Structure 1
Amino acid sequence: MHETLENTASQAPSAPTAPALAWLTGQGQAMQDLLQKVVNIDSGSRDEAGVTAVAHALAERLRAAGVPVQFEPVPGYGVLLHAQVTPDEAAGKGAPIILMGHMDTVYPAGTVARRPFRVEDGRAYGPGVADMKSGLVLNVFVAEAFARCGGLAAPLHLFFSCDEEIGSPATRDLIMDKVRGARAVFNAEPGRVSGNVVTSRKGSMVVEFEVTGVAAHAGINHAAGASAIEALARKTLALHALTDPATGVTCNVGVVQGGIVPNMVAPHAKAEVDLRFTADTDPDALLERVRAIVEEASVPRTQGRITTARRTLPMKPTPDYLLALYQQGASALGFEVQGEFTGGAADSGLTASVGVPTLCATGPVGGHPHTEREYCELSTFVPRAQAVALAVLGHP
């Protein structure tokens, strides 16, 4: 199968002969305009209204191009966006190629008011501009290009989710069901700063836990208390010791809360932990190591328990033929890319886990995701959209 696909990839249409690519050439400003519109909508995870507003903004563009769009409500999180472009030829029916992305960001409501979309020296800035609203826009324009210009040999579907940044707790099964049996998935997470795409990823696990202690006056009868904060601090050190560069496991206690007032021995504390791991790690065994640390009485008369644990699967390596297909299209357009491994987790881990050939980070090049310095290289919008279009055209 791979030999056949490699032969097909070498026959992918060059830029001058594909009408969809020619149409994309003139869409740079329109892409930037839509990017500005969706970046200037707060859509943090669990912001139902914000995520839904982003979906409507994207759907407006698609429907204007004649692309059917459907919303699937996900209570507490927003909606899923489904859209599809159907080939003109009857022979082009069957399993689809899927362009995937997520509409939620890590930023809380009010972030847009503090630092809205702006452009400086060819870079766009704003919450979620790289991760991954620019990728959503890229996918929309690729779909529109084929809707307007034709040329598809297989159905092309868009599938945008709404809770990826918190590990896809409500949509992971929906995602796997949606993509199962697809020809390929292109996930438009941001291209690496190097311009590379991603061919494998770590998995992630978020564990929330709480510690209960015994309250006491911190001055009058300190010894009668049992500090939940002290216990949490000791657990934090033990959890961070799980980090092992040799196995690729990292552990970070990123959020802590606890106590009531300074002169009270803290009766309660809680924390959120981020763990990353490779496909060689047994996630169940890793979770049990975390559980043992949490439940250990690190301070006498305190007790810890896990309240939530959710995970994202590692992304298994992209098949060589699919990377080669994208690389050949990129080369025809004048830029070179390599595939690389990253510690960041994504929904591409879910799609790869059900056996669908998956290539990730096909969005525009971006940097510093999840920070105030997050940016998107606007000059990469058109060529990377064309590279995805060529990969779609070249895939059997």
Structure 2
Amino acid sequence: MSDILNYLKEHSNSITDTLLRLTKAESPSHTKDLVDKCGQVLGEEFERLVGSSVEMIEKIEVGNQYKFTYGKGGDEGQILVIGHMDTVWDEGALPIRQEGNLLYGPGVFDMKGGLTITLWALKALKETSAQLNKKITFLVTTDEEVGSTHSKEIILKEAEKSSVVFVPESSIGPDGAVKTIRKGAAQFLMKVEGIAAHAGINAWDGASAIEELAYQILDLKKLENRDEGISVNVGVVKGGTRGNVIAKEAVAEIDVRITKKAQAEKITEAILNRPVFVKGTKVEVIGEIDRYPLERTEAVIQLYDELKGIAASHGYDLNEGSSGGASDGNFTSGIGIPTIDGLGPLGDGAHTEKEHVDLSNLPYRAALMAEIIQRYANK
């Protein structure tokens, strides 16, 4: 058993204490004051455990973000760890409770468990005097659950200086598999303009925006390809004013998921440049690919193989898997930086009332993070 894992197992209760502090500091994405309080707790934990550089990045519309650094070396070639402290849960919406080794609570799995293991991975590297020839940057954002609009720029800025990116997002339950594939995501808004008319007196003078939108939805679904992992979902539809009026306006919100960066241009063009089916209507679509996929490249396979080897030395198997959801790791992967995701602790139930982590797994996952950081900090 490694010195790092031994150290973390000896401090398992303290690791749990850190997770409880972060979980109790509830941090709904849209409630800045609460997110900022959680950031203060996170900063205090970092200073207490690691005692290195803390930089707060002030934000107006969302919670303040944090950049923690540890180790020596310049910016170029740094090791980047990306996490977020915001959650999908309103304050008080989900009680915190412990049942045996399982801790339930808001954001405990997505992703305060991941923040906790990263803090303790750095703590273990410090206490075991592990050699690190590169700087470690731990970037924690505050709007991942609502699109990362206010954090994308700094994520890309830090990624461009990095040799590798580790993302301690929630693992794949129930066995804690890491994510070597994440789908890319795009959102589009379709606006249809028709011609209003009385549905009884002069129905043929009108052009229904709703009817056009119905044709559009059916045609959009033809872009799906299950074998290639392309999905198109029209999740929100609005239109019309009254049942006896030909609808003048209709809108739809469209979500697209892709598995390969090469798919992006083709499907974007197909969605933005729509044919018109109902004479007299006009169709406008706005939107773009928000996050390119995290693809299972040779570099990602190498990262996984090394993680699997570390896990085996700790006495367990580490599996890999894919996710249809996107994360901030998609940004870094999208610009070609080797990125692996799902390094958070064993657990399940993200975004549900059953959200939980296995406390007994925290030392193992922190050790996994610590040893992969150490390995890449000395390459």
TM-score normalized with structure 2 length: 0.85
CA pair 249-185 structure 1, distance change in 2 beyond 3 A: same
- How far apart are the structure 1 equivalents of 2:220 and 2:65? 35
- How far apart are the structure 1 equivalents of 2:75 and 2:209? 60
Instruction: Write out per-residue CA displacement over residues 271-325 of structure 1, whole angstroms, 9 at most, x where no aligned residue.
Output: 22111112253312211111233xx333333322123334101113244432232
Alpha-carbon contact 2:181-2:293 (below 8 Å) kept: yes
**What residue identity is the alignment partner of 1:42?**
P
Report SS of the residue matched to 2:286: strand
Q: 1:85 aligns with which of 67, 70, 80?
A: 70
**What residue identity is the alignment partner of 1:36?**
T
Q: 1:95 aligns with which of 54, 77, 82?
A: 77
- Could you list the runs of 5+ residues in structure 1 that have no partner in the other structure? 1-13
Report SS of the residue matched to 1:346: coil
Alpha-carbon contact 1:211-1:232 (below 8 Å) kept: yes
Whether 2:112 is the aligned partner of 1:128: answer no
- How far apart are the structure 1 equivalents of 2:75 and 2:256? 41
Superposition pairs of residues 324-335 of structure 1, within 5 angstroms:
324-335=305-316
Q: Match of 1:58? A: 42
Which range moved further: 350-359 or 15-24? 15-24
**What residue identity is the alignment partner of 2:28?**
D
- How far apart are the structure 1 equivalents of 2:311 and 2:76? 27
Superposition pairs of residues 189-228 of structure 1, within 5 angstroms:
189-193=169-173, 194-218=175-199, 221-228=202-209
Q: What is the number of residues matched between the two proteins?
A: 372
- Could you list the runs of 5+ residues in structure 2 that have no partner in the other structure? none
**What residue identity is the alignment partner of 2:24?**
K
* Residue 249 (structure 1) shift: 0.8
Q: 1:186 aligns with which of 144, 153, 166?
A: 166
**What residue identity is the alignment partner of 2:46?**
L
Whether 2:293 is the aligned partner of 1:307: answer no
* Residue 248 (structure 1) shift: 1.6
- How far apart are the structure 1 equivalents of 2:200 and 2:34? 48
CA pair 269-339 structure 1, distance change in 2 beyond 3 A: same
Instruction: Write out per-residue CA displacement over residues 319-371 of structure 1, whole angstroms, 9 at most, x where no aligned residue.
Output: 44322322222222222112333332222222233343322110013334344
Report SS of the residue matched to 1:183: strand
- How far apart are the structure 1 equivalents of 2:77 and 2:98? 39
- How far apart are the structure 1 equivalents of 2:163 and 2:261? 26
Q: Match of 1:43? A: 29
Superposition pairs of residues 274-353 of structure 1, within 5 angstroms:
274-279=255-260, 281-293=262-274, 296-316=275-295, 317=297, 318-353=299-334
Whether 2:214 is the aligned partner of 1:230: answer no
Alpha-carbon contact 1:19-1:149 (below 8 Å) kept: no
CA pair 204-81 structure 1, distance change in 2 beyond 3 A: same
Identity among equivalent pairs (%): 30
* Residue 253 (structure 1) shift: 1.3
CA pair 215-337 structure 1, distance change in 2 beyond 3 A: same
Alpha-carbon contact 2:197-2:203 (below 8 Å) kept: yes
Which range moved further: 383-392 or 342-351? 342-351
- How far apart are the structure 1 equivalents of 2:287 and 2:190? 7
